[in-house]
Structure 1
Amino acid sequence: MGGRLFGGLVQDVRRKALWYPSDFLDALHPQCFSAVLYIYLATITNAITFGGLLGEATDGAQGVLESFLGTAVAGAAFCLMAGQPLTILSSTGPVLVFERLLFSFSRDYSLDYLPFRLWVGIWVATFCLVLVATEASVLVRYFTRFTEEGFCALISLIFIYDAVGKMLSLTRAYPIQRPGSPAYGCFCQYPDPGGG
């Protein structure tokens, strides 16, 4: 099957087809209840957390409800098609950084964010389909730990930059008051407790 369009996908489906029913039936066993509950709560709390951060990053264009809906639809599709019902699917830090950068880009160039985001999603889906069709996943063996660590370092630097920027914006919004310096506004004179 190698070398044919979607050959790897067909091989994966053939290998997994025998185990597909048991993947779902085993999840109904009482011993799996705690794992199912854990995965459900992990997915829900992550959707709430990243949904709130996403709402803040996009000025409410996307938020908790959209995060819930996206997690539910993508999770159901992944679990049904991948045959892995006990998988945690949710947003991650790089997705949040990407959405924040995409929103600021669309705002800077006067683009409507949601249609722009839709087209980005369509292009990503198209590229993923081409990668699956050409079995590009075999190229993963050429990736090293350096590639992964470099990507992690980039994401960490972006979060550190955002945190420092947030702290600096707080010092502008709530400046430090220095006694005797009227540069920051009015200083109130409280009456002397001795009754003056």
Structure 2
Amino acid sequence: MSHFRHQLETNLIGSIQVVRAALPHLRKQGFGRILQLSTVGGQAAFPGSSLYHASKWGIEGFAESVMAEVAPFNIGVTIVEPGSARTNFRYQSSTLAPKIDAYEASPAIHARRIIEEAKALSLGDPAKMAAAMINSVDQNPAPKRIVLGSDAYSTIHKALTERLAELEQQKDLAFSTDFD
């Protein structure tokens, strides 16, 4: 349970608290920019990372709503969705939930192995990613999202394409449930 709480408190509640603390100051000065760090995992989900995705999808929903709420105050909000980056974060600061043997033969084990084996070389250059984020603050209007890394772009594109196709298949059902 502590792993569950830590994940949500760090990625979701902590991010919400930072934004809430900054907004009075940004409203008072009459402008500002919030960069909300998410991840490719805020748009696409991978087995073995369900709590992480819950926190990132949650923060993306929060940030999208805040975008509309603070626009009248000349405050822009941008969700940053990086893919993998060559930092020590994944291997030296990631914590894993206790292993459950029942998942040993499931796709969820892949995420655990990536972290435990610490061999995968990330594509993203963290310096280039940071520069892209910094450069984005001068864009007006603020971009709703910034996708960083070819892996993030490809994964998000695939996920959105699949979701849109699934939505289209539901159109007749969706419309059939309205009042006549």
Q: Which has the higher strand share?
A: 2
Larger-gyration structure (1/2): 1
TM-score (norm 2): 0.28
The higher relative CO (CA closer than 8 Å, separation ≥ 6) is in 2
TM-score (norm 1): 0.26
